[in-house]
Amino acid sequence: MRVVVAEDSVLLREGVARLLQEAGHEVVGQAGDADDLMRKVRAHRPDLAVVDVRMPPTQTDEGLRAAKEIRGELPGVGVLVLSAYVEPAYAQELLAENAEGLGYLLKDRVSDVSAFADAVERVGTGGSALDPEVVSVLMGRARDDDPLEQLTPREREVLGLMAEGRSNAAIAEHLVVTDRAVEKHVTAIFGKLGLTASSVDHRRVLAVLRFLEA
């Protein structure tokens, strides 16, 4: 997979690049700010851009804005946003209309090599990734008549993994169960929560997110 990395901290940028290379990807460009990123993405047309949320010049949300721009302009380029904040609002903003080829991960996640590699793989191939911590804030939110209480602990776990953007096969592997068992859980969850099931993972992420947000 061809990747562009945008991150203003050189240390972290080099680290992420090395991780990606070790995972067998090709880092075709490295950028230190949003303009540089846009230039390199347009020039290289990579499969994925790994983008820091906070970059020069304003050090606020350049990454989010660049992600929207890239997705609008070059639908073939997935964008994985790395953030220092466990902030559902940013993730929801990023994945507001379409979760296809988009991801929001905490920077800490890069140290969890396999999880990071999974997310890169998913987002680079048009899937989605949402950080488990963000998912846990969304799921852990106190509500009146919490609909999640209808779910069994296992189903909650599956719901969380769906929200992270994982496919049924990945969930099955993660929970060490059969694909068939996961499918049953998914059907049960969608039935209990009154959601319309979708076989496309990034659509499923969106549906789950909208449900959790409501």
Site for another protein, rule CB under 8 A: 54, 60-61, 84-90, 107-108, 111-112, 137-138, 141-144
Radius of gyration of the chain (CA): 17
**C-alpha closest to that of 133 among 94, 159, 104:** 104
In the bound complex, what is the minimum distance in angstroms from residue 7's beta carbon to another protein?
16
177 vs 193, which CB is nearer to another protein?
Answer: 193
**Cβ closest to another protein, residue 6 vs residue 64:** 64
Q: Which is nearer to another protein, 42 or 143 (CB)?
A: 143
Q: How far is the CB of 133 from another protein (least distance, A)?
A: 8
Measured from the CB atom, the residue of 96 and 137 that comes closer to another protein is: 137
Q: Which of 95, 172 has the CB closer to another protein?
A: 95
Q: Shortest Cβ distance from residue 17 to another protein (Å)?
A: 20
Q: Give the Cα separation of 20 and 5 in Å (integer).
A: 10
